[in-house]
Amino acid sequence: MVQRPSFQHDGGAGAVTHKRIILAGVLFVAAFTVIAGRMIQLMGFEGEQDVRRNFAAPAPSAMAARADIVDRHGRQLATDLSVFTLYADAANVWDAGETVRALLGIFPELDGPALEARIASGRGRILIKRDLSPRQQAEVHALGMPGLSFDTEMRRVYPNGSAAAHVLGYVGTDHHGLAGIELSQDAVLGASAEPLALAIDLRVQHVLDDELAKSMAEFQAIGAAGIVMDVHSGEVVAMSSLPVFDPNNIGASPPEARFNSATLGVFEMGSTFKAFNTAMALDSGLIKIDDRFDARHPIPFGRFQIRDFHPQARWLTVSEIFEHSSNIGSARMAMVLGVDHQRQFLSSLGLLEPTRLEIPENGRPLAPANWSELSMMTISYGHGMSVSPLHTAAAISAMVNGGFYVDPTILRREPGSVLPRRRVISDETSAEMRRLMRLVVEQGTGSKADVEGYPVGGKTGTAEKPSNGGYARKALISSFVGVFPADAPEYLVFVMLDEPQPTPETFGYATAGWTAAPTTSHIVARIGPLLGIAPRRAPRDDDEHADAQGTGVAAMGEER
Amino acid sequence: MIALNRTDRSAIAQWWWTADRWLLAMVVSLIALGVLLSMAASPAVAERIGLEPFHFVYRQLTFVAPALLLILCISLLKLRDIKRLAVAIYIGGLALMILALFFGPEIKGAHRWLNLGPLTIQPSEFVKPAFTVLAAWMMTEGQRHPENALPSHVASALLFAMFAGVLVLQPDFGQTLLVCIVWGALYFMAGMPYRVLFGLVGLAVAGAVLAYLFVPHVTSRIDRFVDPDQGDTYQIERAIDAFEAGGLLGAGPAEGLVKLRLPDAHTDFILAVVGEEYGLLGCLLIAMLFLALVIRALWKSLSCVDPFARLASAGLAVLLGLQAVINMMVNLSLMPAKGMTLPFVSYGGSSMLALAVAVGFLIGLTRFRPAPRHLRRRPWAG
């Protein structure tokens, strides 16, 4: 028997200590077994991949790039740029206050307390800011804050600002189109890598925008619209609606600026409709160009009277009725052919249905549900039914291009491709219309539309705006539709001013001949050379110079 | 060291042949692991708080040599000198703790630290091993002189009460709990009858319930542990994420991502970083190192002839082992958060020096001391 040490106490404390130290060791083994078991449970079995994925950088957004939109010559109208969206993965942010303070250093515009509260709330992916530039992204990276992450997103950029904004439309924050071509061609743009070529010519578009804006300012109009159209192919070479917006910053524009008055807006076009009335009459074969109609007195109809603005108070030929813009004569011509004939003819010109331009904003014409005799008479001179400027442009094109209605298009048509067109009037009638429209500019209401070198044919249209069931005398829609060169038109220019005000220079007139017609003239003078139309040699002294200019312009080239 | 001869009677040579080299090896391994892991865990933290990436690594490295030196010096001491040193450290440490209460900076709501020039020390870390040694001394004195049993019990209780009292004032409930358990373990190993033991355990449970009911800080921690959905369990959740992300073999050195989001990755939650980067194998290795350290220390204490040395070394083993167990359990969500470092592995200069003191005591106490043959015992001979 080994002798117990001398510290024995209470029946052998040494032995007890010995046992209990071993017991402590056993307890430690037990504790470490629990720990090892827990380690194995956490690490040996549970799926590691899931958790790691949560902490890995988010994959680049699946947001597809959109194809560019280019003009007819390949100039960029809309393109994609990569931008970054900053998120906070709330669960991974370790100090919401510190994180937000650091971010405020870069983005002082953020709402700090609100953001901090959202992050501190704990869960979820919190969007902090969209559209970070690469430089801003680098700055956020440099903060070294955990829990911040980026998505790469594509931002739609319109390098020409508001040019052709209503045609292009815009995209939403999800990068999908919300208006214009961006909306109508959303699937195409999203799927294709090829740029989408529009019929728009950016240079012509700039001229149209510029001249419309000038005239709008000059006449203090509240709005304006303009279209330049290839009368043969139906391509819209330029289209404007003022006021305009910047598709790069859609939120900054008022809703009315986003309204496309060139296609979605419908207006009573006034005398412009007399072109259709005249063509209808001539093409019917029942009325000849020299037939005379009684325009001596206003036509009473119930409590209405149909009057002329510039009363000639005599019998007028068809030609004179058009030239002097006689409402009475127009109404009498329509009366010969009747309601059905008129409705059918206007329908053939596409004036009773929305146009099929490749944008969603196509206005439905307002035509009388009950097409009465009176309707027929007022419609003959452009009142009582409303169509969009685009309707007018497409229908007038048919009047002058040899008699074919071509569905207008905003997309570029390959030269020589089969056109979606239908004959609406005969070639002869179309020739007659060209002559008549030239007459309006040479000696009628549209004289201010003429351009040296580019003979313009056209028709003025002035309509009082409907107001409270009647018409507002002072609120006019003044428009001019011109085609050039007048004898063999290539392009149509439509200009419309909404509520232009008279100026001293216009001697108190705000009618189309004084407002829209000169604007058209300015536009034609600038776009003629751009579109490769050789100016006609005017009989001038320095013949040689004019010749050289003409050759030079022709050399600039245009596919037609 | 190879040059040291058995016949060499110099102090170093004697130390080399009598100190437990296994214990030493395990401690040195843990310190080396700590330096290695601080490279993984601390650069992210350092960058986050605006220091150069290897700030904590360098600091940790600068404490390695002093720590090893401290272990050597203390373990050279005779039992009597160990007692003297323990008294000095206990008194000095307690004084510093009281100073810290009034002058220490408030860090995370507690006054546990003192700024001494470039050093920030947590005096309670040093008091823990000193307290363990002194309490063991008092208890064995009581056993040796049964007629003086009462005063020795009173003395050990006083030592405990003063230390625990200041810890509660700081407040530092994690350390208080640790000290409670160590003191209880000492009494238990000293041969406390089971009925007294259960009485004390009951008292401890009552104390814990009272703390839960009346100390908001404790209430919230327990609540958060019981119901993780309420309140801030950020670190705990990230730690679990880290373990799960690591899996069997880990993401690989420096590949950890969750560690970037762990505020205390370099201190209390270093095990989670090990888990993420070195996986289950790394964690098990560390756990086994600690278990081996504890078992080896307890084993060595069994072979101590001197009852004081035996109880004190066992107490120190319990102290080190408990701290590791608590830290690991917190990391693994087996316990509510405590604010306890993983010995040797977690970053912390003063913590490393304090642990060096503890290991120095441990090795010094368990050194082979010649004794009459009848007093030499085989540890396994009950």
Structure tokens belonging to residue B115: 């700024």
Question: Which pLDDT belongs to residue B373?
Answer: 57
Structure tokens belonging to residue A231: 């009368």
Q: Does A22 touch chain B (CB under 8 A)?
A: yes
Instruction: Name, in order, each residue with C-beta under 8 angstroms of A113's C-beta and a sequence gap of 6 or more.
Output: none
Instruction: Name, in order, each residue with C-beta under 8 angstroms of A252's C-beta and a sequence gap of 6 or more.
Output: A245, A246
Out of A25, A92, A146, the one facing B298 most closely (by C-beta) is: A25
Rounded-to-integer distance, Cα A48 and Cα A508, Å = 83
Nearest to A192 by CA among A203, A201, A181: A181
The pLDDT tens digits of the residues spanning B336-363 come to: 777 788 888 888 778 889 999 999 999 9
Query: In terms of CA atoms, which chain B residue is nearest residue A3?
Result: B374
The pLDDT tens digits of the residues spanning B27-38 come to: 999 989 888 887
Rounded-to-integer distance, Cα A454 and Cα A463, Å = 27
Checking if the pLDDT of B292 tops 90, the result is yes
Question: Which pLDDT belongs to residue A57?
Answer: 40
* CB atoms near residue B146 (< 10 Å): 14
Collapsing DSSP to helix, strand or coil, B297 comes out as helix
Domain count, chain A: 2
Nearest-neighbour CA in chain A from B187: distance (Å):
9
Collapsing DSSP to helix, strand or coil, A305 comes out as strand
Confidence of residue A276 (pLDDT cuts 50, 70, 90): very high
Residues of B in contact with A28 (CB under 8 A): 291, 294-295, 298, 321, 325
- Do A150 and A245 sit in the same domain of this protein? no
* CB atoms near residue A154 (< 10 Å): 17
Rounded-to-integer distance, Cα B361 and Cα B357, Å = 6
Question: Hey, are the CB atoms on A43 and B244 less than 8 Å from each other?
Answer: yes
Residues of A in contact with B228 (CB under 8 A): none
- Phi–psi pair at B32, nearest 5 degrees: -65, -45
State the number of CA atoms in the 13 A half-sphere of A331 facing the CB: 24
Residue type for position B296: R
Given the residues A271, A386, A397, A521, the one annotated as active site = A271
Q: Is residue A37 part of a domain?
A: no
Structure tokens belonging to residue A159: 């390098």
Rounded-to-integer distance, Cα A58 and Cα A435, Å = 68
- Identify whether A253 is a catalytic site residue: no
Q: Which domain holds residue A225?
A: 205-556
- Do A135 and A225 sit in the same domain of this protein? no
- Do A210 and A262 sit in the same domain of this protein? yes
Checking if the pLDDT of B286 tops 90, the result is yes
Question: Hey, are the CB atoms on B191 and A20 less than 8 Å from each other?
Answer: yes
Mean pLDDT of the residues in chain A: 84
The pLDDT tens digits of the residues spanning B132-153 come to: 999 999 888 888 777 777 788 8
- Phi–psi pair at A238, nearest 5 degrees: -155, 145
Question: Which pLDDT belongs to residue A197?
Answer: 92
Average pLDDT over residues A91-110: 86
> What is the rounded end-to-end Cα distance, in angstroms, of chain B?
35
Q: Provide the CATH number for the domain around residue A277.
A: 3.40.710.10
Best of A4, A27, A48, A50 to disrupt the B interface (most B CBs within 10 Å) is: A48
- Do A365 and A479 sit in the same domain of this protein? yes
- Do A447 and A537 sit in the same domain of this protein? yes
- Do A380 and A524 sit in the same domain of this protein? yes
Mean pLDDT of the residues in chain B: 82
Mark which of A155, A181, A197 sits at the end of a domain.
Answer: A197
> What is the rounded end-to-end Cα distance, in angstroms, of chain A?
125
Q: Does A51 touch chain B (CB under 8 A)?
A: yes
Structure tokens belonging to residue A143: 């903060």
Nearest to A481 by CA among A276, A327, A282: A276
Q: Is residue A47 part of a domain?
A: no
- Do A382 and A519 sit in the same domain of this protein? yes
Q: Is residue A467 part of a domain?
A: yes
Question: Which pLDDT belongs to residue A303?
Answer: 78
Question: Which pLDDT belongs to residue B269?
Answer: 85
- Do A221 and A150 sit in the same domain of this protein? no
A61, with CB counted inside 10 A (0-12, 13-18, 19+), is: middle
Pick the more confident residue, B275 or A391. A391
Mark which of A197, A216, A246 sits at the end of a domain.
Answer: A197
Residues of B in contact with A38 (CB under 8 A): 329, 332-334
Nearest to A375 by CA among A268, A281, A468: A268
Q: Tokens 């997103």, residue?
A: A153
Nearest-neighbour CA in chain B from A52: distance (Å):
5
- Do A271 and A238 sit in the same domain of this protein? yes
Residue A382 DSSP symbol: T
Angle between helix B270-302 and helix B234-246 axes, rounded to 10 deg: 90
Question: Which pLDDT belongs to residue A396?
Answer: 94
Question: Which pLDDT belongs to residue B216?
Answer: 74
Question: Hey, are the CB atoms on A39 and B302 less than 8 Å from each other?
Answer: no
Task: Give the predicted TM-score (pTM) of the model.
Answer: 0.52
User: Which neighbouring-strand residues pair with A489?
Assistant: none
Q: Provide the CATH number for the domain around residue A154.
A: 3.90.1310.10
Nearest to B263 by CA among A178, A301, A146, A481: A146
Residue type for position A79: T
Pick the more confident residue, A142 or A537. A142
Query: In terms of CA atoms, which chain B residue is nearest residue A99?
Result: B48
Nearest-neighbour CA in chain B from A6: distance (Å):
8
Out of B257, B288, B333, the one facing A56 most closely (by C-beta) is: B257
Question: Which pLDDT belongs to residue A114?
Answer: 85
Of A56-60, B10-14, B152-156, B182-186, give the lowest mean pLDDT range.
A56-60
Out of A10, A28, A91, the one facing B191 most closely (by C-beta) is: A10
Out of B234, B237, B284, the one facing A39 most closely (by C-beta) is: B284
Query: In terms of CA atoms, which chain B residue is nearest residue A56?
Result: B257
Instruction: Name, in order, each residue with C-beta under 8 angstroms of A94's C-beta and a sequence gap of 6 or more.
Output: A146, A147, B234, B261, B263
- Do A382 and A484 sit in the same domain of this protein? yes
Pick the more confident residue, B66 or B370. B66
Rounded-to-integer distance, Cα A166 and Cα A159, Å = 15
Instruction: Name, in order, each residue with C-beta under 8 angstroms of A423's C-beta and a sequence gap of 6 or more.
Output: A403, A404, A405
